[in-house]
Amino acid sequence: MKELIVEMEKYAKEHNIPIMQKEGIAFLMKYIKANNVLNVLEIGSAIGYSAILMASSSLNVKVTTIEKNEENYMECLKNVKKCGFDKKVNVVFQDALEVNLSEENKYDLIFIDAAKGQNQKFFEKFKYFLAPHGVIITDNLKFHGYVGKSDEIESKNLRQLVKKIEQYIEFLNNNEEYTTKFYDIGDGISISVKNEQSA
Ligand code: SAH
Ligand code: MG
């Protein structure tokens, strides 16, 4: 397992795949353990690094992870098999915005870590699959330190992407259904919790 993880970190580096930073994944694993999370839904598997580590954080946790890139999906499947997690990690090869999950499936933790410009769409789509007291966690809210400084970015594509992340943060801050806390961990993480319904 340890060897596979090191191998995956190396593969990610060589292929420019943005897997979670060590501090970020350690935080997620701790969260899963401390809060007795049993069912995780991940948007954006890449090669399965975060899915496998989340699945390894406690005995009973199961992860469903969605990936739309075929090469990453294949690599993810291979890695899940290698560590014997076929029963713990379910990899879905589809665009998350097109996927049809059974309404009966509810998740204690939904982890958004896919296309950074689509965070709000993912949030609005998958919030209906949150178990009571479940949380939505989003990664890369600092985006390498660019967030909050979008006006200074020269590249148009990058500027637009960072602006989208800034808008997502505003969406979270202004959301009356959910309360969000932001953590300066890894590349920036948020945890959104549904507010208690008032009678
Ligand atoms: N969670 C992974 C890293 C994910 S990188 C880890 O930390 O190990 C982001 C991944 O999201 C990429 O592999 C990309 O192909 C995928 N992705 C982007 N948009 C997507 C979408 N709409 N549906 C599914 N996967 C998507
Ligand atoms: Mg990430």
What pLDDT shows up at residue 173?
98
Percent of the chain with pLDDT over 70: 99
pLDDT tens digits for range 65-75: 999 999 999 99
Question: Which pLDDT value is given to residue 199?
Answer: 55
Q: Is residue 169 pLDDT above 80, yes or no? A: yes
pLDDT of residue 59: 93
Which domains are assigned to the chain?
2-198 (3.40.50.150)
| Per-chain mean pLDDT for the chain | 96
Tell me, in angstroms, the distance from the centre of ligand 2 to residue 20's CA.
5
The predicted structure's pLDDT at residue 171: 98
- Which ligand is the nearest neighbour of the Cα of 79? 1
pLDDT of residue 103: 86
pLDDT confidence of residue 142: 96
Burial classification of residue 26, based on how many CB atoms lie within 10 Å of its CB (0-12 exposed, 13-18 middle, 19 or more buried) = middle
Pocket of ligand 1 (CB under 6 A): 18-20, 44, 46, 49-50, 66-69, 72, 95-97, 113-115, 118
197 pLDDT higher than 80: no
Would you say 109 and 137 are in contact if contact means Cβ atoms under 8 Å apart? yes
Q: Whole-model pTM?
A: 0.97
What is the distance in A from the centroid of ligand 1 to the CA of 73? 9
Q: Whose CA is nearest to atom 9 of ligand 1?
A: 114
Candidate from 113, 122, 123 with most ligand 1 atoms within 8 A of CB, to mutate: 113
Average pLDDT rounded to a whole number, residues 78-99: 98
Smallest-distance ligand from the CA of 19: 1
Using the predicted structure, report yes or no on whether residue 101 has a pLDDT greater than 60. Answer: yes
3-class SS shares of the chain: helix, strand, coil, % to 5: 40, 20, 35
For the four alpha carbons of 178, 181, 185 and 186, in that order, the dihedral sign comes to positive
DSSP 198: P
φ, ψ of residue 49 to 5 degrees: the values are -60, -60
| Residue with CA closest to ligand 1 atom 6 | 19
Residue 25 CB neighbours (<10 A) = 21
